[in-house]
Amino acid sequence: MMSFQRQVIDRTVDKLLNGEDYRKEVINSINAEFFDFAILFFKKIVAAKLDSCEISLEWYKKHFINSKDYNPAENAIYAGMNKKTITNIYGTANKQVVLDVANANFSYLSAMIDELNQDSTDDIGISIKLTYHDVYVELNLAESLLVINALATKKAAISGGAWSSIGKKVEKPLVTKLCVLCGVPKEYMDSRAFIKDSSLDYDREIDYKLYNRSCDSIRVEVKLMGRGNPESADVIYARDTKLFIADTLSEQNKKQFASNNISYIEMKNNKDIISDFKKVLDCLDVPHA
């Protein structure tokens, strides 16, 4: 899965603080990681084909599905399966289970492609020609479709990991930079990971904490979701939030926050974020420059 690099996080934070849409940064990162994977995958295919004497698709199965050179998650991708999907279906990410499912899916795809070839009444030919260091290999229809399917699976996996992780990666740097820009003293900022709430019998994660002049803690929640996402409103009840920072909020969200005496900041298209944050700090009695 995709892990956001420091520069991507920093650029995303800057976009948000400028009231700009951060999604382009995520998309650019997804594409960059995918292209890196695709080029490396093509190089591996050339090497595997040149090193193989197997007929049909056995070379692909040997070098990509059952190869010990890759971890089970990679074997699954080459077979057109996402490890997370396997876990959701079978309730486990056990190595043998992942490999068994990968092999089963490979067999299913191979049979489907073979049937497609037999049933097709059109003389359609698809082939991928790969050249590397003055040598080249050419993949037939079946091989090309397997490669295309693996690429599509990898793109989906990268994309899913990126969108699900961006909020977690950005929330603490975002609040910290806001506080720094507004001159909040360090002793009133707390970006540690908060899991256990001593007043509860279960774990509850908190994005960030600020402290007012009376040393009371102020829970801060950050959500980078689109307008209409119900999670934005529900979380304020679950986590006793006092400050909510979001990319986009609906009018209903804003009314809910106002009726519950919760401060909020909407960042998208907001050119006065720093000024708005200072007003919120005054309201919460948090010192700042």
* CATH number for 265: 3.40.1350
CA distance 50 to 135: 9
Look at residues 112, 128, 163 and tell me which one is the last residue of a structural domain: 163
Contact between 164 and 47 (Cβ < 8 Å): no
Kindly state the tokens that stand for 20: 């700009």
Tell me how far apart the alpha carbons of residues 36 and 140 are, in angstroms, rounded to a whole number. Answer: 24
Residue 175 lies in a domain: no
Amino acid in position 181: L
* Domain closes at, from 109, 132, 163: 163
SS3 for 129? strand
- The answer on 24 and 157 residing in a single domain is yes
DSSP, res 200: S
Q: Are residues 158 and 191 in the same domain?
A: no
Residue type present at position 45: I
Residues 207, 108 within the same domain? no
What was the pLDDT predicted at 132? 84
Tell me the one-letter amino acid at 212.
N
Residue 219 bridge partners (DSSP): 209
Structure tokens at 151: 């690429």
Q: Which of 163, 196, 217 is the last residue of a domain?
A: 163
How many separate domains does the chain show? 2
Start-to-end C-alpha separation, the chain: 40
List, in sequence order, the alpha helices (H) in the chain. Answer: 6-17, 23-50, 58-60, 72-78, 83-90, 95-119, 141-181, 231-239, 251-259, 273-284
The letter for the amino acid at 208 is: Y
Q: Is residue 168 part of a domain?
A: no
Local mean pLDDT, 10-residue blocks, the chain (289 residues): 72 93 91 95 92 82 93 95 92 93 94 79 75 86 93 94 85 95 95 62 69 94 69 60 90 88 92 95 95
Tokens of 29: 């990162």
C-beta separation of 2 from 29 below 8 A = yes
Residue 176 belongs to a domain: no
Please report, as a single letter, which amino acid is at residue 73.
A
66 and 192 share one domain: no
Q: Find the domain containing 53 and state its range.
A: 6-163
Q: Which of 239, 245, 264 is nearest to 22 (CA)?
A: 245
Residue 171: inside a domain, yes or no? no
d(CA 17, CA 267): 7
